[in-house]
Structure 1
Amino acid sequence: MNTPLPFLQNGVSQVCILVPKLEPVVEMYYKLFGIGPWQFYTYKKPFVKNMTYMGKPANYASRIALSYFGPTRIELIEPLEGESVYADFIREHGYGVHHFGLLVDDMQAALKQAEEAGLPMTMDGSGFGLDGDGHYAYLDTEKYLGITLELIERPKGRVKPEKVYPPEE
């Protein structure tokens, strides 16, 4: 591939941190920095309709909490079960910053570009939006860049969160 990949042209839209338990970390971000509100979701089937890990169908589960600091989304992930890039990372490094999320408009085109550049997809999930849209895909970039990159095609509409912190009044 002679053309540079376009994924970083719009900057990093998300920073993800793997944590052992969501609630204490969310409460600390809120208490120390006023970051919130946080929206909680459980990513597993059937909420995430299609999941793969290392090129094969997968069935992993994780709880996530989403908020913003400035224009950047912060995502906290608590892995629950199943083989995943999260479990791999924790085994190798412990908890901590796992990936930078990059927004893409066309996931299939982006994945083709990444593959052509020698960056295969390691894990993905899709179909979690209100209209069955939404797709995330992790690229095998840690060995080259020191961090994993996640491509994100955000859903047009999100399902109502399981909970919000602090609780809405």
Structure 2
Amino acid sequence: MTDGNPQALFPITNIAQVCVIVPDLDKAVENYWKVFGIGPWTFYTYSKPLVKRMTRHGRPCEYQMRVALANVGPMRIELIEPLEGDTVYSEFVARHGYGVHHIGVLIENMNEALDRARQAGLEMTQDGAGFGPDDDGHYAYLATEDLIGTTVELIERPKRRNQPEKVYPPEE
């Protein structure tokens, strides 16, 4: 195993998430659980007021999506159902249909990671911040699809998570 290219413009050392855009979040989660045994799933609606700061192409905006999260070993699976607004998700569906949208990379400091991305010539297309209960947590998408065939999401996870809207399967 190698540590990768030390001269890379924007080195990635840890892919922690794979995201699939789906048309019906509840049905997709049920299928992942019943067919593959993946779960339990936690559900959130990412919009204001949960996500306090959102931008698209560097300008403040508002959008809404439903998200379900589950772990498979050390990998997190994220399912997203786009609901409202001009987003990287709706753009992807218009271009490709539903399917695998991005890989998620955990980072420690979003500002530093975005500075490195800019220096590498990678544009941020959308982000959201302040979704943790302590106003932390930040995600940002980079325009990488033309380079590598998928989008890279930078993820600075919040230290704590808000209570999910629901869990599937329901806890008994």
| TM norm structure 2 | 0.94
Equivalence for 2:12? 8
User: Which residue, 119, 133, 136 being the options, matches 1:133?
Assistant: 136
Pair 1:150 & 2:153 matched = yes
1:60-81 Cα shifts (integer Å, max 9, x gaps): 0000000011110000000000
Q: Distance in 2 between matches of 1:163 and 1:6?
A: 36
Q: Deviations over 1:8-59 (max 9, x none)?
A: 212x100000000101110111011111110000000111000000111110
Alignment-derived partner of residue 3 in structure 2: none
1:73 to 69, 72, 76: 76
Of 12, 24, 47, 1:21 maps to 24
**Count, aligned residues:** 167
Correspondence for 2:164 among 140, 161, 164: 161
User: Map of 1:17-166 to 2, 5 A cutoff?
Assistant: 17-166=20-169
Q: Percent identity?
A: 60
- In the aligned structure 2, how far is the partner of 1:89 from the partner of 1:144? 15
Q: State which drifts further: 28-37 or 154-163.
A: 28-37
CA distance in 1 between counterparts of 2:96 and 2:159 reads 34
SS of residue paired to 1:30? helix
What TM-score, normalized by structure 1, do the two folds share?
Answer: 0.96
Q: Which 5+ residue runs of structure 1 have no aligned equivalent?
A: none
CA 1:81 to 1:90, structure 2 compared with 1: closer, same or farther past 3 Å?
A: same
Instruction: Check whether the contact 1:7–1:102 (CA below 8 A) recurs between aligned residues.
Output: no
In 1, the alpha carbon distance for the partners of 2:167 and 2:30 equals 11
Runs of 4 or more consecutive aligned structure 1 residues displaced over 6 Å after TM superposition: none
Could you tell me how far apart the structure 2 residues matched to 1:5 and 1:79 are?
31
Alpha-carbon displacement from aligned partner over 1:98-144 (angstroms, at most 9, x marks no partner): 00000000000000000110001000000000100000000000011
Q: CA RMSD in A?
A: 1.2
* Structure-2 separation of matches of 1:140 and 1:3: 20
Tell me how far apart the structure 1 counterparts of residues 108 and 133 of structure 2 sit (CA, whole Å): 17
Question: Residues of 2 paired with 1:22 and 1:88: CA distance?
Answer: 18
